[in-house]
Structure formats: C-alpha cells, structure tokens
Amino acid sequence: MGLVDDALGGSVRALARLATHIENETNVAHAALARLYPLSGRAHTIGITGPPGAGKSSLVNRIVARYRTAGKRVAVIAVDPTSPLTGGATLGDRIRMLDLQGDAGVFIRSTASRGRTGGLAPTTSGLIHLFDAVGFDVVIVETVGIGQEEIDVVHYVESVVLVQVPGLGDGIQALKAGVLEIADIYAVNKIDLPGAHGTVRELQTLLGLSEHISSWSPPVVGVSASEAVGIDELVDALNRQRAWLDESGSLRTRRRAIAAMEISQQVQRLFERKIALQGRSWATDELISNVAERTETPANAADSILAHWSNVT
C-alpha cells in the first residue's frame, strides 16, 4: 500500500501507477480502492458528453482553467477510442490539453474505451474514486463522441453537460432518443457560428416542452471554446446545479443511484470473468442440447445456471 500512501501524499508518479492498475483491474487496484473508497465522496464529479466534433476537449480545457483560477484542483478522465495497435487510449484528448500539463493542480488521464459503448471506459468509476479520494476538488469525465443513445455517463457523475453545436440538426432526434433528458446543463459550442443562437432557442423550446422530474430547470448556455466565450457562465451553472443538489437533498438520491449502478456493473463483470475462465463448462451438454432442441428456453437455462452458482458460492 506504499503506492496509496504516496498518492495521498501528492506523488503524481504514484497516482499515475495506481490509475494504470485500476485500468488493468489488478489485485493492487482492488486493494487500493478498498482503502481509498471511504475517503471519496468529496469531489464535484462532472460529465462532459456530446457528439463527435462538438469541441468537448477544447471546452474541458477552458472549464479546467476556470476552476484553477478559483483555486480548485482538477482531475480529467479523457475517454479516447482504443488504439488498434496497443489496445490503449489514442491520447487525442491529452494532446489537445497540453497547455494544462505543467499545472501541478491538474491531472489528466487518457483511458481507452476498450470497445465499450456508451462513451465510457470499463474502469471509469474506479478512476473517479481514485482522483476523488486523493483530494481533487473537481473530477471531469469527458466521454468519447457519442450517439443519441449512448448516455452511460449520467450513471456515474453528479453533473452532466451535454455539448451541442449548430448545424447538426439533432434537436428533434435527440428529444426522441431521450438524450435531452439526461443533462443538467446544455452547452451550445461555437456560438459565434451562423445559426448558433437559433440552436440555443431550439433547445430552450424543446426543454420547455419536456417534463422535468425535479425543480432544477436545465439552462442552455452559449459558449465558444476557441474564443473563451461563455465559460464563466457555464462554470457558474455547474456550481449552481451542484449547490441545488446539496440543498434539495437530491445529492443523496443521485449518489444512491450511482452506487446501485456501480454494484450492478461489478456483478455483471464478475459473472463475465467467471464465464470467461470456465469456458463452456458453465453449461452442461444436456442443458445446451435442451435449448438447441427447443425443450428449454435460453432464459430458463440461464436462470438454472445462476441458481447453481449461487448454491456453489
């Protein structure tokens, strides 16, 4: 646990090594998170998501700089596509944030999606807890460019910013797919482009037609990451939403939902590993034959396998 002590003491090298262990799901990672998890729960966790080309990385760059001006320490988890050669992150997001690398109050970790849909990496939640526990005030998760139904980030953070840009024509389609219902704040990037203010108005109209399940009304903020326009307003909106979560009691509800999702994810991953280790031995030839011959349904066969494992364990 020397790595944990060093990371808690401020060692960037130890923090990076722990992040690698978490991404590789090693025994060291399991032991480290068992110790660190009780220390987490203090950071403001933020998800930045949206379609490819929306300028998420440039916007994150500006948001981090704004938080640093306020004296906040910030960790960024930049989920990149998986490299076909190494299986690691392609590091595109980290390259776009090079001007933050020399700041001791900022830690940027590029992590590979490893083929997972939904815009996140399989071990994103573990990285969030790591950076939270070692004392970062804000942990930002930037997703891979997502489609209309890839909204996993909402299950792992307290605040979600959905970035849109003018000209995509996604307003009505996004509403149909439910993406407009996941975000706490909407940012229209490239507000200086023709039609951008029209996109803001369209989003405001669509949000006015939707039913909110809470007293928080998601604002639509026009920003320009390239020109640093609207960044203060966006960060102020994030701070207001986080304060509302705390004051309304919704923070506890959201954290319970996050906890439930993480438990579900871990159970699923444990079963996947068990199946992978046992090969096809998890199902008897008789059970497979019954399903193939239509005397047993796949669902009932799966139920019997789970019941067997429950009795064994």
Domain residue ranges of the chain, discontinuous segments joined by +: 1-39, 41-248, 260-312
Say how far apart CA 124 and CA 85 lie, in whole Å. Answer: 22
Q: Does residue 98 surpass a pLDDT of 80?
A: no
29 pLDDT band, cuts 50/70/90, is: very high
Taking CB atoms within 8 Å and a gap of at least 24, the contacts of 9-16 are 12/104, 12/107, 15/107, 15/130, 15/131, 15/134, 16/109
For the stretch 30-61, pLDDT in tens is 999 999 999 999 999 999 988 888 899 999 99
Q: What's the N-to-C CA distance of the chain in angstroms?
A: 29
- φ, ψ of residue 63 in degrees (nearest 5): -65, -45
Percentage, residues of the chain above pLDDT 70: 80
286 pLDDT band, cuts 50/70/90, is: confident
Q: Which CATH superfamily is domain 41-248 in?
A: P-loop containing nucleotide triphosphate hydrolases (3.40.50.300)
Three-class SS state of 268: helix
Q: What is the pLDDT of residue 311?
A: 65
Q: Does residue 179 surpass a pLDDT of 70?
A: no
Q: Which amino acid is at 150?
A: E
**pTM for the full model?**
0.86
Q: What is the pLDDT of residue 87?
A: 47
Quote the distance between the C-alpha of residue 296 and its chain's center. Answer: 39
Q: What is the pLDDT of residue 256?
A: 94
